[in-house]
Structure 1
């Protein structure tokens, strides 16, 4: 379990990663921010968790990317300044999901056993992040009611699911061979 200083560091660093990912969209620096977040993830695994926790980080990133890809494909989410591989979500969004994955077992660990609270908080703060990105003109929620409904449901479902995955993974590690 991470110490309080790592919990605070993890929370603050995610806020900085959110801004870095969002601000990298306009100048087309998705590759750069993705590489930086991958490097930060390696440092995170080395110093805070352990390399045995790489799998749930990848699962979180993949699941989040799949859900945003569905919304993007259905036209409920669009990305401005998106020129690299336009059939897929942009690299900065993949980086953002990877950065988010590093919070689930550190600064958000306290939510792992609180599924209903996680759903409520996910359903509230997930859409706020997307609305914030829309205000910064890097994403668009074109069909505002459907788009916002999708993001709200996505986060109300995915937040408890991802926290449950992390909790189960932690339990498996604690009972499995060393």
Structure 2
């Protein structure tokens, strides 16, 4: 199946709708979001699918380390809840399909990811009725900014590994 990497409305809307559904309804949204994710991954070429898996694993490992370090915390869970793990999968799809293209310049990757990532956690915490907590307050925010800045740079700089050069 051929795939043109660039801006994808399906990927943009799919990510936004999935993120909102998982944050707001958590476990009730698992099946529809999992079906969307399976469809989106199926549409990607093999290198894109492998990139999604790599970003997904990276994200789950990073956030698991943040939970273990008490930077973030989930009410009623000692680790990452399944609905949050699924957010990483739909993020990985969106990152591979269109987000990483915007993150090629390092300064822009640091800016966009360093602001956008932590804001996503903050707004997610508010919408989920505070199921996500930041136990170390300002330190939690500084760590999230630093971590997401690095994630943005990695996404932007590794895009050439799975996108064909024209």
Relative to the length of structure 1, the TM-score reads 0.80
More deviation, 57-66/162-171: 162-171
1:11 aligns with 2:3: no
Match of 1:45 in 2: 41
Match of 1:64 in 2: 59
Query: 2:5 & 2:154 partners in 1: Cα distance?
Result: 21
Residue 112 of structure 1, CA deviation: 4.5
Residue 145 of structure 1, CA deviation: 0.8
Q: In the TM superposition, what whole-angstrom CA distance separates every residue of 1:1-42 from its partner, at most 9, and x where no partner exists?
A: 2475xx1221121111111111233xxx17x61x54443232
Q: In the TM superposition, what whole-angstrom CA distance separates every residue of 1:54-105 from its partner, at most 9, and x where no partner exists?
A: 211111011111111111011110112x3xxx44211111100110011123
Q: In the TM superposition, what whole-angstrom CA distance separates every residue of 1:139-164 from its partner, at most 9, and x where no partner exists?
A: 01111111111111111001120232
Aligned residues: 161
**Structure-to-structure mapping, 1:22-171, within 5 angstroms:** 22-25=23-26, 29=27, 33=30, 35-47=31-43, 49-80=44-75, 82=76, 86-136=77-127, 137-171=130-164
Structure 2 residue matching 1:88: 3-state secondary structure: coil
Query: Relative to structure 1, is the Cα distance of residues 167 and 24 closer, same or farther in structure 2, using a 3 angstrom cutoff?
Result: farther
Query: 1:14 & 1:104 partners in 2: Cα distance?
Result: 10
- Structure 1 portions without partners, runs of 5+: none
Relative to the length of structure 2, the TM-score reads 0.85
CA contact (8 A) 2:73 2:135 kept: yes
- Structure 2 portions without partners, runs of 5+: none
Query: 1:110 & 1:3 partners in 2: Cα distance?
Result: 7
Superposition CA RMSD, Å: 2.2
CA contact (8 A) 2:6 2:101 kept: no
CA contact (8 A) 1:61 1:98 kept: yes
